[in-house]
Amino acid sequence: MTKKFIAFTLFFIFYLTISFAENSRYFSFDKGIVPLIYHRFEEPKYPSTNIQMEVFKKQIEIINEKNYDFYNLNNFENFFLNPSKEKKILLTIDDAFTSFYENAWPYLKQNKIPFILFVSTEPMGKYGYMNWDQIREIEKEDFVLIGNHSHSHEYLVNYTFGDFKKDIDTSIGIFNKELGYNPIFFSYPFGEYSLEHKNYIKKKFKYAFGQHSGVIDLTKDKFELPRFPINEKYGELKRFSSIINYHPLPYKKLSPEDKLVKENNNPPIVDVEFFEDQKNIERINCFSNEGDEWGNPKIEFSGNKMTVKFRDKFKFRRGRLNCSLNDEGKWRWFGAQFIIKED
């Protein structure tokens, strides 16, 4: 190894270090994308996944009153190249229920509001679900993109890895047959995935969404993109107004990367490394639901690193961590979801 090569390598490392430090300030101006997830419309017997159209229309009115634009999905790939100078709203719809097609679709079409519709291929055409002709009708509009939501929409973390791959590959084959392509977007059923699952999804898609809350910015993992759930319980207009005002909380790294929690690592210890010039991190307030009871976990700081120690073990099926920061009048937010597997 020559001295010239060593000198060049050291310079390159130094350059990357300086660039990354500069990027911390660069990221702090990113207003991000506020992603929202909906499921059913006008199906009140399913309050945890339903929204009434009257409320939905009022939510859209609130977005318009604040002069926030809906994100142009055709530009999504460019989003991760530069910080967003203006806040954008991203609508996503999971499951392709008939109630969406009959109630929300006419309104969205009339107003040309962009959205991603995530489709699981196995239930298509069955009672309560859209059929492929209806999917194609929606897909032809230039303000709509279709996403892959697996084949079976089962609890895929319970599958063997081989069966998981088979489920995903089956869905891809059906999309290719019905639409002529496999979508670039994927949505994990129930927001559940392991690191092994995520690594396989990386090979098949360009982006993947979970069901943990947060604002998308340049620092977020493209295969763990957050979404705020909106339904009858969490769709109250005052709360909705707060959500769409949130700013991203940028960070360098969040661990553990594997969100699948087993008995031997329950509860996990969460480390979040922030950028050096992120102000007011000592003001971060976190809530978590370990022991099936929402409360404040223990938070410790060491420089720009935050360690979260939970009060108890998480109960089966999902554990959640939500953190907010009042950053000189800007409320920043990020969340994480853990999948609790029983051995």
Rounded Cα distance between 231 and 36, Å, is: 10
pLDDT one-digit tens code per residue, 150-159? 999 999 999 9
* pLDDT for the residue 27: 65
User: Where in the chain is CATH 3.20.20.370?
Assistant: 31-248
Q: How confident is the model over 52-103, as pLDDT tens digits? A: 999 999 999 999 999 999 998 888 888 887 888 899 999 999 999 999 999 9
Torsion of CA 36, 331, 72, 58, to 10 degrees: 50
C-alpha to C-alpha distance for 138 and 127, rounded to whole angstroms: 19
Superfamily of domain 31-248: Glycoside hydrolase/deacetylase (3.20.20.370)
Could you name the CATH architecture of 253-340? Answer: Sandwich (2.60)
* Rounded distance between C-alpha atoms, residue 108 and residue 80, angstroms: 26
**In the chain, which residues have pLDDT < 70?**
1-28, 343
- Phi and psi at residue 275, to the nearest 5°: -70, 150
- Per the listing, tokens 């909705």 go with 240
Sign of the CA dihedral 141, 145, 148, 149? negative
DSSP 225-246: B--EE-STTT--HHHHHHHTT-
**Rounded CA separation 197/214 (Å):** 21
